[in-house]
Each structure stands twice: as structure tokens, then as C-alpha cells.
A and B are shown apart, each in its own frame.
Chain A
Amino acid sequence: NAGVMQNPRHLVRRRGQEARLRCSPMKGHSHVYWYRQLPEEGLKFMVYLQKENIIDESGMPKERFSAEFPKEGPSILRIQQVVRGDSAAYFCASSPRGLLSYEQYFGPGTRLTVT
């Protein structure tokens, strides 16, 4: 059973460009979470999605960031008009259910560098 897949693993964008980060959850998992890790910091929750629904986006910046998890295909975290401060590692996690008893399994992350 393949784990959580993220691609690309490394992404370089110039200021003002768009960044698209993809996350394929583990097989059988329908809940996806995105976290951001700034340099020398812990992970910060961004958004929690189920298929075709955003459940909790309380950690998402109000502008330029969006996330989706369509019925078919991977979850996408989209950052428009990137700025240097967006440089970070973005981690995706998945779980089979949105219940307390289910742990989150993390992917290897996408490291975004904005030049």
C-alpha cells in the first residue's frame, strides 16, 4: 500500500508566479490535511478537506491560497502570486475517517522556494 504521495518534491518559483502542489492520499483515505512548515518552526495547520468539501480552512491565509480535493484526482494546494514569505515545506496528510480514532499519515512534503 503506497503511502501519501506529494509532487513535486521541490518547486522553485519566481515572485508573482503560481505554485501548484499535489497530494494523493493513501488508498482508501478520503480525508486530506495540509500543513506548512516555515524554516526552523513546527508545522502549522492550513486546511482540512474531504472529497469535494472544505471542512476547516481556519489556517489558510485569506488571500492567494486555495485548496481543493475533487471527486477524482489528487488534492491541490494552489498559491497565486507567490512571495518570498511563501517559501516553506508543505506537507499533506491523510486519514480514512474524520474521527478521533484515526491517525494522520504524512507525505514527504513539497519544498517551495520563491526566488
Chain B
Amino acid sequence: AQSVTQLDSHVSVSEGTPVLLRCNYSSSYSPSLFWYVQHPNKGLQLLLKYTSAATLVKGINGFEAEFKKSETSFHLTKPSAHMSDAAEYFCVVREGFQKLVFGTGTRLLVSP
């Protein structure tokens, strides 16, 4: 079975500083990996996805993630945090054809 582990339940940054949200995956084959963002009382929005093409994946709102097979990691980064980035972020792996397996989430707090 596929799984993902989000290493931090909360991350706090100041506006304008870099963001790093960590995710490690476990998969018996080449995985499909995603990052979703959830703003309070809202649905989930896809930030980016990795499907065995380029290992550095660029997403929306300046986010990107790098797939590192040797480290089984798929960390999410952004060079400069914005107040509007404050939200819950989920690292997700696809299991089988269509089932998504979610991590427990990382809450990003951005202070002025």
C-alpha cells in the first residue's frame, strides 16, 4: 500500500521568507504524487502533481516540489511566503488507478 508522511504538523514563517513543507512517501513502484491546499472551510485545490516526468514540478502561486527517489521525498517549497498562503497543505499519493491517499496535513502559519 502507498502512504505519505508529513513530517511537520505546523510550520510558522514570516511573510517574505521561504517556505518548506516536508513529505516522505512509501511506494512499491513509481508513484504519482500531489500537493493540495485547503483554506479554512473551503474545498481542496490542487497545487501541483508529479507523474514521472520532470523531477522538479512547478505549481500554482509560486509553489514547486522536487521528487527525490533516493530520499523518497517530495517536499513543497516557495521562495517567499505571502499572507494568503496560510492554509492546510496535504501531500497525497495515488494508490491504484484512482484512490488518493492523504497525509495528515501541515498547517502553514504566516506572520506579518
Contact = CB atoms under 8 A, between A and B. Distances in A.
A107 interface: yes
B105 A42 contact: yes
A91 B101 CA distance: 14
Interface residues of B, number: 23
A92 to B, nearest CB: 9
B99 A106 contact: no
A56 interface: yes
Contacts of A3: 43
Contacts of A91: 43-44
A48 interface: yes
Interface residues on A, range: 20 to 34
Nearest to A4: B43
B49 interface: yes
A107 B98 contact: no
B32 interface: yes
A100 interface: yes
Contacts of B32: 100
